[in-house]
Structure 1
Amino acid sequence: MNYPFSNERKVIDVGSTGSRLHIFELVATAASESSDAPDTRIKCLRRGSSKAWTPLSAFAPNGDAVNEQTEPLNSTHVAHHMLPLFDYASIIIPPVFHPTTPVRIAATAGMRLLPLEQQSLIYDALYEGLSEQQQLGQFTFTGLKREDIFTLDGEREGFFGAVAANYLRGVIDAELKVIVDSDADELDSLMEEIVTEDVATDSGLCTNKFGMCEQNAENVLFGPSHHYVPQSKHDVRIHGPLGALDMGGSSTQIVYRRKGVQIDDATLQNNGVIPENELENIDYDVPSHLHDDEFFSVSYLSYGADQFRERLWDLWVYEAQQKANHHATNNINDNKNVILNPCSFVGYEIEYKGYILLGTGNAIQCSEQVNRLIPYHDDIIDLDELYDENKAVEVDSNQLEGDKSKLTPKKKLVGGVEHPPLRGKFYGMSLYFFTLDCLRELSDPDHPIHLSWPTPSIEELSHALDTFCARRWQGDLEEVQHEAHEHTRAEVLPHRCIEAVYMVTLLRDGFGFHPSSRDITFIQHVEGNEVEWSLGLALYEFAAERKRLTSQSGIVE
């Protein structure tokens, strides 16, 4: 089938640590293996990717304000660092498609941290430099326009991640249309499978589909449980569209559909598992397409792993300086510049702003420190007030005089944003996968996280943190830092403790995932394709283009 659009698309993800090129191909599929007639369905295939390790934000002008920059940016210099990406793309994509291949250069949190004026200066220089290279024959994708280079809004980044997750899981097609299994008998069978567990009681072994035992979240003992939900199939009529959790170095995103199956309090107490006798009473709300206005999507700038770590370190340094000033005022001789760091492996040392951070590897204490910075995004001013705002229970003086059973649990607000109730299942991607997979890899070989992966409970993850962070750096992790984990470079390994504690604490205390729930699948690839927002952007734009062309041709779908 010939469509009036290019079947090749390119998206460059301009992140805080570098720029990644993604190439996608959209192809029509045959109606059946025995038929040559193409179907109206389209598959989106990932053709390849490449990365430039210099972040685009590194080209920001010097000085706090743009008007302090005395010389314009060197457009050739800015463009040259990306040319290898386009050279790679020109090899993968046939030359006949070069003039018509859509190119999007979308920047995320690394550029969002810069003032808008500086972003525009960098984008102008990049576009000018690529145009110069086009005239020299070094840049062959002539369809690029200045508006194709932009900063992606954080909420859109989150939604595009959800689009990618739902597409790869088979919940939607390439035009964002929700795929619903019309076979009611198969649906009933699936629902029965989800709420029924076959657990052996004589030997203490689990005999469910995945042969794994679930933990008891009350006392952190591990054994059979009714909470485990098989992940073999995702039926949108039961779980709704997938939500997405994404984290990078500078920001983190959470996105999920606001509407969904109405779950009563009793079901919530049962960890979201719907009793079998209640299945027929469920009022399903299945959308026809994935619409971004139906999703709750929020992005937290400076809540990415690197930015959050530095903000926590800044807090400790500030406190140490306050303590030093107090001692100086009171003529106390204290020249110590060592800060004990519970969020790093035992014995690991790093110099930061004149202080030595010495790792003590205490995951519980680290979680307490992390919780100090989860509620608000503002700069630290009143540390005592900030800490009080994150207490689990808000005690009102009037309440104390009355019935204590009416004490109101204080809502945990991430960055001051109140979320609607969590709904459905989620894919945890990017750093969520890389970091927590490292936690799994370096945990006790007998820990249940190995059996439950990639859908461990929050409590299992929390339990695994203790021994993980308590590992020593010298004589242990330092010796294997170059091959400790497939997705962890040597320079990143020392930070995996704080990253893992931060993520688990954020999921549990910030976003409110139930400790024993298995609503998150931590994943990198589905059917050989990486789950990331750039695929979602390509699909979203393709769906919009198809809708526009269909409308112009007068075709009613």
Structure 2
Amino acid sequence: MNQNCGDVKLSHFLRPFQRLFTGKFRIFVLLTVLAFFLIYVVKMLQSSNSNMELAVNLYEYAENVQNMRYKLHYAVVIDAGSSGSRVHIYTWPPHSGDIRQLLNIKMLKDQFGKDVYEKVSPGLSSCANKPESSINYMLPLLNFAAQHVPVAKHKETPLFILATAGMRLLPLKKQEAILNNLRENIPRNFSFVFSPNYVQVITGKEEGIYSWIAINYLLGKFDHSTSAQPLVAINLNKRITTRPRTVGMLEMGGASMQIAFEIISKYELEELKQRKELHGDVKDLLAEFNLGCLSHDEDHSYLLYVTTYLGLGANVAQEAYTKSLVKEHLSFTSFSTKEPNKHLTVSDPCMVLKSIKNTSIEVEKGFTYEVTLKGTGEWEYCENKLAKLINLEKSIPCDTNFSCPLTRLKETIVSFSTSEFYGFSELWFTMEDVLRLGGQYNYFKFKKAVSEYCKTDWSILQERFRKKLYPLADEERLLTECFKSAWITTVLHKGLRMPKTYKNYKSSLTVNSNQVQWTLGALLYRTRYFPLREIEKQTGVVEQHLSHRIVSSYINHALFLLCMTAVVACIVVYLRHLHQMVNQNIVGRSSVSYTSLLNVKVDTFPIANTRNL
């Protein structure tokens, strides 16, 4: 009996495993394998697409590395300045297609990462008496550009020749003679994209605008596709727009100084218009332009306050100061301004201690003095004397100074509490070449360093110079450092009324390893519509690519749904099969139990014996 029960239990335990090898389960296994195979195929298709795209991208990258010069766009800009001309070659990749972004323009660099450029001297204005020689003057620069721009790109590379101060000083007739010679001869010898209006003399105001565009572009202030920049609300029209805050620009040369900053409020604009002491039309001080590729692009529309202070450049200012110093000396001596050709010895607090400079000073027309200036190295005293020279409290008659720089300086009101400024040219060289303090400006640190420098004996400074301890400076820079540093602080703090504790001013030569050149700003402004071509090209390519991706996406989704349906079907079949197995198992157990009960042997007692009991 025990053996039979054990056999029943063992057969009951093995019966489900015996059913695993039935025909129905083989179907289930086959469907499951098929389902996983289809899923695997779908994944492989997706992976192959991505691998193909990666392979294409890698191929394109390798091709770009090898043929980068042929993939880029090019432009040539020649800066025809007063002392010389310089050619700049700019490049940029295809536009991203995002209208919030401008072209990604960079100066062409060589294999060592240095800017590629060429310069000649003197300036283009030297051709004034022989305008027919203008093309020969430009040939070295044009040939240099032709060599560095791929020949296949010449026919799509624009060429701009923009002249500045030197040409502006020439009579209009001589200007046009020089420009016309270039307009006629350049198309005959070069295949660059060139139009008659691509060569012109720009105004000082335009130069200031281009410098402002250049610095803000290099700082990323025109990129509205990211939110990394501090934002500001522009309230000039009925609609208030929000965009990155721009920075102001200060530039000082030898003859003039320029300033440009953005006006962001209609109240600020109204205050400027209502200023009673303002001479002339306020429009002369304002510039409104759009850098976007769409004329109605408010995000790239800017209104600038921009002006030039002719006569406030470092070299012209030093001449004016020396003249006033001689006049002051004459007022305390027996010399008369009517006694020409007299020799004077004058102490100068704006020169290095014990330095000497011989010069000729024309105090009045026709009356010139030979003057020996002896430096006393008193920087603070120098700064005080310059502050009197630039005194904005007194009125400067325009008949003695035709450009009225001090009057215009007095009218300039800058909101330093809500602005940031960058200084260039002399504002950088004076702080960096000798003192190595270029960059973040700190008046008190600068004052201490330059005061120590100015009261150092000139012979000691000359010895340091011979030992190459001033690698960025020449001897002329060492001699004029005291005056120029005092002039800069005077203009900033007395003229523009910048607080001495102001922390948002930096002098700079480069930004993000790129030279800040007004030519970059000029190119950005003149190529602002170029992105439209790329956007139109990319629109067709993107639409075709999107349609392919949509079809591919639909196919992948259909395959995935088919696989999921197969898996669900397999699960249902398996559950039904399992249910049948369970039911059969229950019926089998019931039959075994019933049969066992029928086969049980029962022991009986004899009736007779029972009765006997």
Q: Does 1:89 align with 2:105?
A: no
> Superposition pairs for residues 132-281 of structure 1, below 5 Å?
135=188, 139-173=189-223, 178-181=224-227, 240-259=245-264
Cα distance in 1, alignment partners of residues 397 and 149 from structure 2: 46
TM-score (norm 1): 0.63
2:424 partner amino acid? M
SS in 2 for 1:43: coil
Residue of 430, 435, 447 corresponding to 2:430: 435
Cα distance change of structure 1 residues 501 and 551 upon mapping to structure 2, 3 Å threshold = farther
In structure 2, what is the equivalent of residue 470 of structure 1? 455
In structure 1, what is the equivalent of residue 106 of structure 2? 45
In structure 2, what is the equivalent of residue 425 of structure 1? 420
Cα distance in 1, alignment partners of residues 421 and 219 from structure 2: 11
Structure 1 residue 241, shift from structure 2 partner: 0.8
In structure 2, what is the equivalent of residue 532 of structure 1? 517
Residue of 20, 28, 32 corresponding to 2:94: 28
Contact 1:240 1:260 in 2 (8 A): no
Cα distance in 1, alignment partners of residues 399 and 467 from structure 2: 36
Cα distance change of structure 1 residues 485 and 57 upon mapping to structure 2, 3 Å threshold = farther
Structure 1 residue 436, shift from structure 2 partner: 0.9
Cα distance in 2, alignment partners of residues 248 and 512 from structure 1: 20
In structure 2, what is the equivalent of residue 516 of structure 1? 501
SS in 1 for 2:497: coil
Structure 1 residue 530, shift from structure 2 partner: 0.6
SS in 2 for 1:516: coil
In structure 2, what is the equivalent of residue 54 of structure 1? 122
Segment of structure 1 superposing worse, 466-475 or 507-516? 466-475
In structure 2, what is the equivalent of residue 300 of structure 1? 309
Cα distance in 1, alignment partners of residues 195 and 467 from structure 2: 42
Contact 1:254 1:298 in 2 (8 A): yes
In structure 2, what is the equivalent of residue 501 of structure 1? 486
SS in 2 for 1:144: coil
In structure 2, what is the equivalent of residue 398 of structure 1? none
Cα distance change of structure 1 residues 513 and 317 upon mapping to structure 2, 3 Å threshold = same
Contact 1:100 1:143 in 2 (8 A): yes
Cα distance in 1, alignment partners of residues 486 and 244 from structure 2: 28
Structure 1 residue 256, shift from structure 2 partner: 1.0
In structure 1, what is the equivalent of residue 283 of structure 2? none
SS in 1 for 2:94: strand
Residue of 350, 355, 367 corresponding to 2:383: 367
In structure 1, what is the equivalent of residue 155 of structure 2? 99
Structure 1 residue 41, shift from structure 2 partner: 6.1
Cα distance change of structure 1 residues 504 and 74 upon mapping to structure 2, 3 Å threshold = same
Contact 1:248 1:431 in 2 (8 A): yes
Cα distance change of structure 1 residues 112 and 358 upon mapping to structure 2, 3 Å threshold = farther
Structure 1 residue 82, shift from structure 2 partner: 3.1
Gaps of 5+ in 2: 1-59, 61-70, 109-115, 232-240, 269-296, 361-369, 541-613
Cα distance in 2, alignment partners of residues 262 and 38 from structure 1: 30
Segment of structure 1 superposing worse, 489-498 or 43-52? 489-498
* Higher-Rg member (1/2): 2
Structure 1 residue 55, shift from structure 2 partner: 2.2
Cα distance in 2, alignment partners of residues 321 and 150 from structure 1: 46
In structure 2, what is the equivalent of residue 395 of structure 1? none
Contact 1:104 1:149 in 2 (8 A): yes
Per-residue CA deviations over 1:471-502 (Å, capped at 9, x if unaligned) read 33223236516945454344443222222221
Per-residue CA deviations over 1:101-148 (Å, capped at 9, x if unaligned) read 2222222333334444443344345555x54xx64xxx5255334432
Cα distance change of structure 1 residues 262 and 534 upon mapping to structure 2, 3 Å threshold = same
1:46 partner amino acid? M
Cα distance change of structure 1 residues 41 and 74 upon mapping to structure 2, 3 Å threshold = closer
Cα distance in 1, alignment partners of residues 154 and 475 from structure 2: 39
In structure 1, what is the equivalent of residue 82 of structure 2? 16
Cα distance change of structure 1 residues 307 and 172 upon mapping to structure 2, 3 Å threshold = same
Structure 1 residue 300, shift from structure 2 partner: 1.6
1:156 partner amino acid? E
Cα distance in 1, alignment partners of residues 147 and 493 from structure 2: 46
In structure 1, what is the equivalent of residue 347 of structure 2? 340
Per-residue CA deviations over 1:159-214 (Å, capped at 9, x if unaligned) read 221211111111214xxxx45508xxx979xxxxxxxxxxxxxxxxxxxxxxxxxx
SS in 1 for 2:372: strand
Cα distance in 2, alignment partners of residues 328 and 543 from structure 1: 57
Cα distance in 1, alignment partners of residues 100 and 399 from structure 2: 57
In structure 1, what is the equivalent of residue 15 of structure 2? none
Cα distance in 2, alignment partners of residues 126 and 342 from structure 1: 49
Per-residue CA deviations over 1:42-98 (Å, capped at 9, x if unaligned) read 31111122222312334445xxxxxxxxxxx2422x443332222221221111222
Structure 1 residue 533, shift from structure 2 partner: 1.2
> Superposition pairs for residues 347-366 of structure 1, below 5 Å?
347-353=354-360, 354-366=370-382
In structure 1, what is the equivalent of residue 301 of structure 2? 291
Structure 1 residue 11, shift from structure 2 partner: 1.6
Cα distance in 2, alignment partners of residues 251 and 432 from structure 1: 12
In structure 1, what is the equivalent of residue 9 of structure 2? none
In structure 1, what is the equivalent of residue 235 of structure 2? none
Contact 1:172 1:179 in 2 (8 A): no
Structure 1 residue 358, shift from structure 2 partner: 2.4
